[in-house]
Amino acid sequence: MTENRKTPKLRFKGFTDAWEQRKLGDVVEICSGRDYKHLSEGKIPVYGTGGYMLSVSEALSYDKDAIGIGRKGTIDNPYILKAPFWTVDTLFFAIPLENKDLNFIFDLFQNVDWKKKDESTGVPSLTRTVINDIDFLEPRYKEQQVIGEFFSRFDNLITLHQHKLDRLKNIKKSMLDKMFPKDGEVVPEIRFKGFTDAWEQRKLWELALFNPKDELPKIFEYVDLESVVGTEMLSHRTETKSSAPSRAQRVARIGDLFYQTVRPYQKNNYLFEKPYKNYVFSNGYAQMRPFVDGYFMLCLVQSERFIKIVLDNCTGTSYPAINSNNLEEIEVYAPLNKKEGNKIGTMFRSIDNLITLHQRKLDKLKNIKKSMLDNMFV
């Protein structure tokens, strides 16, 4: 908060009054959640720090909406609670006092860096005293209502895009299940027109060359196990051959597929399609140079059936892992006609492109909202 500034950088037309100094305890009543296990099943939703849990027969608040904020655990994810509701003992609920706008105060809660308010040495925690003592500047009630309504509509837009993204991801998951043979089957449930032959059982090494050897470049971009999330590379760092980590061994070529061999259930696998020869991956990935369509291969290793087989061949419990020798011996089903694999790969590439497009739109909206919160609050 800027010491001398009493108004935000951006304001709606018609509002000119200075905002007034307040503490959160002046505008909300912080209430504690309670155990619900003594209650019967019912229609009143119970909420925890992660959201909705179940429904019971009684409410802690029957007619007053509130803002949920974690007391312990997840303390930086406030959300609106519509009455009636019950909250567990790890979730405070903040009820706005008279002439205090719920949506405005929710926006205010979203603009607080709650992790900096954590005074615990273990599990992140907040206290009622800490929350009540937070300083902020407050506009008059009418301006609160206008700001609250604006961000409420913005949140609805974000929710709409999130639902579209979730639907696309569910469609992809369903299609992965249906376009690859299930256990005991030799043909998928759904196929492109013109393909009728049974799929053939192959070992993975028959579909790709594993861990091809290549000379490390003198300077390269290193991709470690934290760099890939899902099927996207989010980061890499520049290394030199003389000082690089010993795990920097897999020299990437266009079309190579990198399979995370540690905790494979995370599905952090990457199809390298960059036209560069200076990327090197950690040997925590198995490197495959496919003989079939690369995107078909990516979909194959992302399928639930394949993940289950891999996990059955892993060692370790906390960090299950499979070595490349065992991975390449895994048996899978693949179409005899490469054109079928190509069509499957092309279809899933299109779905993934749509998912990426919607994810970027969603990220852009969230960034716009963050910027607006920064500029419309003092």
pLDDT bracket for residue 4 (50, 70, 90): low
Residue 99: count of CB within 10 angstroms of its CB = 11
Order across the sheet with 28-31: list the strands. Answer: 28-31, 91-96, 66-70, 79-81
In this structure, what token pair is assigned to residue 372?
Answer: 């607006």
166-218 pLDDT, tens digit per residue, is 999 999 999 999 999 988 899 999 999 999 999 999 999 999 999 999 999 99
Distance CA 169, CA 356 (A): 10
pLDDT at 358: 95
The rounded percent of the chain whose pLDDT value lies above 90 is: 94
Pseudo-torsion of CA 181, 185, 188, 193, nearest 10°? 150
Q: Which long-range contacts (CB under 8 A, 24 or more apart) does 192-196 make?
A: 192/340, 192/343, 192/344, 195/335, 195/337, 195/339, 195/340
Distance CA 106, CA 140 (A): 16
Q: Which residues of 234-255 are buried (b: 16+ CB within 10 A; e: fewer)?
A: eebeebeeeebeeebbbbbeee
Q: Do the beta carbons of residue 50 and residue 74 sit within 8 Å?
A: yes
Does residue 2 have a pLDDT over 80? no
Does residue 1 have a pLDDT over 60? no
Q: Do the beta carbons of residue 179 and residue 190 sit within 8 Å?
A: yes
Q: Which residue has the tokens 């998912």?
A: 355
Distance CA 272, CA 275 (A): 9
pLDDT at 145: 97
Question: Average pLDDT in the 34-53 region?
Answer: 96
Does residue 317 have a pLDDT over 90? no
Question: Average pLDDT in the 27-52 region?
Answer: 96
249-302 pLDDT, tens digit per residue, is 999 999 999 999 999 999 999 999 999 999 999 999 999 999 999 999 999 999
CA distances from 26 to 19, 99, 115, 130, 146 (A): 14, 12, 22, 13, 20
Distance CA 368, CA 374 (A): 10
Single pTM value for the model: 0.81
88-107 pLDDT, tens digit per residue, is 999 999 999 999 999 999 99
pLDDT at 239: 97
Paired with 79 in beta bridges are 68
